[in-house]
A and B are shown apart, each in its own frame.
Chain A
Amino acid sequence: MGEETVSEQAPAREQADPRRDRPVHVWTLVAIGLVATAIGIALGFAIDWFPVRGSTQADDIDTVYHVLVVASVPFFVLVTVITLYCVWQFRERPGEEGLDGPSIHGNTGLEIVWTTIPAILLIGLCTYAYVTLTNVEEAPAAGAPKELRVDVTGQQFAWTFAYRGLDGKPVKSAELVLPKDRSVKFQIRTLDVLHDFWVPEFRMKIDAVPGITTSYRITPSKLGSWSVVCAELCGVGHALMRQKVTVVTPERFDAWIRRKQAGGMAATGAAGGGGAADATDQAAIGKTLFAEGNGEATACGACHTLSDAGTSGATGPNLDEVLKGWTPAQIAEAIENPNKDVAKGYTEGIMPANYGDTLTKQELAALVAYLEKTAAK
């Protein structure tokens, strides 16, 4: 566009002072602009800006970014090059004080050009973005494996996951495990405030909104283990609201589901059915509850450090340090009524106050037994 600026303004030159007849280096400008554009675009492509592309959606979204880089760099280069050129060529030099530039008020043709070209470009980009949006939100094709449905529930400050529509009974888990190459639709709810369910490697995200269920789908395309990240400010523990997501082969996924369904790992099953469990079993169940939760009650370890359970949460007090010498009654009270006596340096209302409802009596007993045993160590 630098070239047009010159040619359109040429007639105005005649009335200006001799200084204004200095040549304008149009081709130098164009050449510098092209080189700078090429460098800018190359940087945009060459630097590894993104995390692993973990879903088919990620491919589409990263391509949008690259298209946007190609479309944007020339504009930035244009503005910068012209600005620098003006500074270099048209700056006031000694002896030019009091001199005015030519009195150019505008140029209709030029103004039409710089209105229509960006408008066309932007509408083009919007169309492309719309097409991509449709693609990333599209349901899997008819021949693809049946879409997996996972209910995601956010709560200050942890996620719980429930697998539905399986053959057999639903599965609850504190850890997200997904099969590769199979579309999965997340149905997202929250028990308290806004959260946002995001795995950077999958690219997609959406808020968990009180009162409604939101959703999106992705198709994992790489094996690996990453973090579920809460992306919407949800309170004091927001920065720590992280959980693990693992993408496994379909075979291993099916095996994992079957194991879960059999109740081999599920603390709920054992605690619910086994009232007669002895103290060691009790503590083992309590440990699982502490580290994984039960699907409704958020895992204690999401916020509390306890080396015995291998957790390192930092939102709440470090139980390795504070738990010494507590009686079972005190522990139970602190779980059920966390706001009654808040540890020094911590704020009231951070720990969920509903463990009395989300844990069964047996589970609570198991948890207390476990914590008491650990504290005594």
Chain B
Amino acid sequence: MISHLRAPGWYRATFWTLVSLGLSWAILWAANGFDADAVTGIGFAQVALLAFPLFFLGGLGAFDYWFYWASGRPTRPEDHSGHGATSWQDYFRINTDHKVIGIQYVVTSFFFMFVGGLMAMLMRAELAAPGRQFVDPGAFNGLFSVHASVLIFLFIIPVFAGLANYVLPLMIGAPDMAFPRLNAVSFWLLPCAGVIMMLSFFAPGGSFASGWTAYAPLSVTAPPGQICFTIGVQFAGASSIATALNFLVTIITMRAPGMSFFRMPLLVWANFSTSLLVVIATPFVAASQLFVLLDRALGFNFFNAAAGGDVLMYQHVFWFYSHPAVYIMMLPGFGIISEILAVKSRKPVFGYRMMAFSLLAIVVLGFAVWAHHMFVSGMQSWIRVPMMVTTAVIAVPTGIKIFSWLATMWRGVLKLDTPMLFALGFLTMFVLGGISGVMLAMIPFDIYVSDTYFIVAHIHYVLFGGSLFTIFAGVYYWFPKMTGRMYNEKLGKLHFWMTFVFFNITFAPMHLLGLQGMPRRVADYSEQFATWNMIISVASFALGLSSLIFLYNMVASWRGGKRAPANPWNALTLEWQVSSPPPIFNFDHIPTVVGGPYEYGVPGAVHGVFESPATASAEARQPAGAVSSTAKE
């Protein structure tokens, strides 16, 4: 038993989690002058929620190496025991293999996609008709708040980090990420954030219910469940910052010989840009929530107008992160689409350099548009006009990308399989989201449709028709590489068509409802909106069902799909030049990059050459990789 508690793992993690709870209580007890009766439940929750993830991670073994090093004890020589996975249990421990972490990330975040999607189903059940159906207004406010928070902070942002975690080191010819241990910490912070947000449903007064925007002062005065958002965001944010730093260092320092910046696949460019955004912007959302926490817990008056607080400051700090966050949730998807369109059209990406530069342009401009979320907030009115112009101008680099993708397809040989269908679905749907975005940038129009269903429609066209379609495209595209199995193409196509059709029936009418004047974030609405809401609800249930097809396809194909060859798509980028799944350190010989990543149509063109081509192809036939055994489970 004692040895269990000494060795890193779940026993020790449980033990230290319990210790953190005791310690939290003791701290409060001491802070209250050793008066046990003065320790309140909410005070305890605030300290415990901040403390337990760190103790849990410590117990699990995330900090062992660093503790050994910091305390001057001999660090254990790296025996790679934390690398790779030979059974499913290896996915439940601190693992330093970027491929294992990538799968941990993707699976965890898809779990949260189903959680968040289920909440959407409950909301649509409530909204199917005016009046009260299944949930009371308080619970409804809680549902849409947790729905958005979970899908943003625990699904879209981390699932992109997960996909990139898996394929990015492979794409640049690196054996792993630059900081494998930090990578493990990044991942394990994520379930902690998820548990914290879910715990809010057990809080007195219900889950946090002030929207994912958590505007002060509502969030300051809201029932205690609110702290689950305030604190959950801290850990989700820390996780993305650490991952972004890891990506930046990996991309800058670990590219294979010959991999110049302009020979990098666009997915790498996209994650480079995204990571810049994350590193600069994410501390702002952490700060905004920390202010709220200080207001709530210690009676600070950041947002108490009566005591000199500034309510609008919250919105500025919040959106200074949360607008770039939209690009954090979109740029990696742009990268995925560039990969898939080039491979599936059998043509080089059109205007490669402009594709890279437009990403950087979006990064820079992305920091100069945040106040367009605040056109009706009552802020100083002159700032609206410059923010309108920057917002409109950001459509230019985005337009460059869309036109370049179209030109990439032009005269290609289009292979219309599932990843390609999702890519094409993305292209058309994201344009709609972009167009409504430009409309919203126009101040007079925005004044009218702010806080209406038009906004709900817009954000879902961007994050569902945009981000989620790219995520599906990417998951199908790299599924053979990650699992060593082929997915079921028929089910994939069925999934696409159901998603595409019901996505549109669900979200397109929301534009109309918004224009007609239906406000968002309401559990109840007037009779005139009833018909469309019923249609939307029915379509949304079908949309929900379509995700079950995806789930079944993924699970069944992973367990018993056809064995995947090393390069089923006949792609040139490096991840496809190794076995599926790749060997434990990715490359037995680090490749030398000799040309661009998308030289399709050039006879005999290769992206990278391996030192010893004979050995490399032998490896490819004999998968000895990290996750192959899991595939059999």
Interface residues of A (CB under 8 A from B): 1, 5, 9, 12-13, 16, 20, 47, 49-51, 60-61, 64-65, 68, 72, 75-76, 79-80, 82-83, 86-87, 90-92, 96, 98-107, 110-111, 114-115, 118-119, 122-123, 125-126, 129-130, 132-133, 136-137, 188, 192-194, 196, 198, 200-201, 203-212, 214, 227, 229-240, 314-315, 345, 347-349
CB distance A345 to B352 under 8 Å? no
Which 6 A-B residue pairings sit nearest by Cβ, starting from the closest?
A211-B305, A200-B517, A103-B601, A239-B522, A214-B378, A101-B412
The residue of chain A having its C-beta at the shortest distance from the C-beta of B220 within the complex is: A193
CB distance A119 to B396 under 8 Å? yes
CB distance A90 to B218 under 8 Å? no
A residues near B519, Cβ cutoff 8 Å:
198, 229-231, 239
Residue among A20, A51, A106, A204 making CB contact with B352, cutoff 8 Å = A106
Interface residues of B (CB under 8 A from A): 132, 136-138, 140-141, 205-206, 209-211, 215, 217-218, 221-223, 303, 305-306, 309-312, 345-348, 350-354, 376-378, 381, 384-385, 388-389, 392-393, 395-396, 399-400, 402-404, 406-407, 409-416, 424, 427-428, 431-432, 435, 438-439, 441-445, 447-448, 450-452, 512, 515-517, 519, 521-526, 570, 599-602
CB distance B444 to A136 under 8 Å? yes
The residue of chain A having its C-beta at the shortest distance from the C-beta of B425 within the complex is: A83
Bound Cα distance A301, B402 (Å): 53
CB distance B414 to A87 under 8 Å? yes
B residues near A208, Cβ cutoff 8 Å:
378
With A229-B517, A348-B205 as given contacts, are A102 and B411 in contact (CB-CB < 8 Å)? yes
A residues near B305, Cβ cutoff 8 Å:
209-212
CB distance A239 to B413 under 8 Å? no
Bound Cα distance A126, B413 (Å): 40
CB distance B444 to A20 under 8 Å? no
Expressed in whole angstroms, the minimum distance between the Cβ of B220 and any Cβ of chain A is 9
User: What are 13 A-B pairs at a CB distance below 8 A?
Assistant: A1-B403, A64-B442, A75-B431, A91-B413, A100-B601, A101-B411, A101-B600, A125-B392, A126-B441, A129-B442, A129-B443, A194-B218, A233-B210
CB distance B410 to A90 under 8 Å? yes
CB distance B221 to A101 under 8 Å? no
CB distance B352 to A227 under 8 Å? no
CB distance A102 to B132 under 8 Å? no
Residue among A91, A110, A201 making CB contact with B407, cutoff 8 Å = A110
A residues near B136, Cβ cutoff 8 Å:
345
CB distance A347 to B438 under 8 Å? no
The residue of chain A having its C-beta at the shortest distance from the C-beta of B406 within the complex is: A82
CB distance A100 to B600 under 8 Å? yes
The residue of chain A having its C-beta at the shortest distance from the C-beta of B409 within the complex is: A86
Expressed in whole angstroms, the minimum distance between the Cβ of A17 and any Cβ of chain B is 9
CB distance B311 to A75 under 8 Å? no
With A60-B444, A99-B413, A111-B351 as given contacts, are A209 and B396 in contact (CB-CB < 8 Å)? no
Bound Cα distance A315, B310 (Å): 29
Residue among A96, A106, A210 making CB contact with B351, cutoff 8 Å = A106
CB distance B347 to A104 under 8 Å? yes
Residue among A96, A205, A348 making CB contact with B376, cutoff 8 Å = A205
With A79-B427, A132-B444 as given contacts, are A207 and B221 in contact (CB-CB < 8 Å)? no
Bound Cα distance A136, B306 (Å): 32
CB distance A239 to B221 under 8 Å? no
B residues near A132, Cβ cutoff 8 Å:
444
CB distance A205 to B447 under 8 Å? yes
With A110-B407, A233-B210 as given contacts, are A122 and B396 in contact (CB-CB < 8 Å)? yes
Residue among A101, A119, A136 making CB contact with B393, cutoff 8 Å = A119
B residues near A75, Cβ cutoff 8 Å:
431, 435
* 12 other A-B residue contacts (CB within 8 Å) besides A76-B432, A118-B399, A122-B393: A5-B406, A90-B413, A100-B347, A100-B601, A101-B346, A102-B411, A104-B350, A105-B351, A105-B352, A130-B443, A205-B447, A236-B137
Expressed in whole angstroms, the minimum distance between the Cβ of A58 and any Cβ of chain B is 8
Bound Cα distance A17, B310 (Å): 66
Expressed in whole angstroms, the minimum distance between the Cβ of A80 and any Cβ of chain B is 5
Residue among B392, B411, B447 making CB contact with A61, cutoff 8 Å = B447
Residue among A1, A82, A99, A107 making CB contact with B346, cutoff 8 Å = A99
CB distance A238 to B215 under 8 Å? no
Expressed in whole angstroms, the minimum distance between the Cβ of B501 and any Cβ of chain A is 15
Expressed in whole angstroms, the minimum distance between the Cβ of A70 and any Cβ of chain B is 12
CB distance B378 to A126 under 8 Å? no
CB distance A211 to B306 under 8 Å? yes
With A103-B601, A119-B393, A345-B136 as given contacts, are A111 and B400 in contact (CB-CB < 8 Å)? yes
B residues near A347, Cβ cutoff 8 Å:
138, 205-206, 223
Bound Cα distance A208, B217 (Å): 12
The residue of chain A having its C-beta at the shortest distance from the C-beta of B139 within the complex is: A236
With A5-B407, A205-B450, A237-B137 as given contacts, are A76 and B347 in contact (CB-CB < 8 Å)? no
CB distance B215 to A86 under 8 Å? no
A residues near B381, Cβ cutoff 8 Å:
137
B residues near A240, Cβ cutoff 8 Å:
137, 524
* Most chain B beta-carbon neighbours within 10 Å: one of A96, A114, A205, A233: A233
A residues near B306, Cβ cutoff 8 Å:
210-211
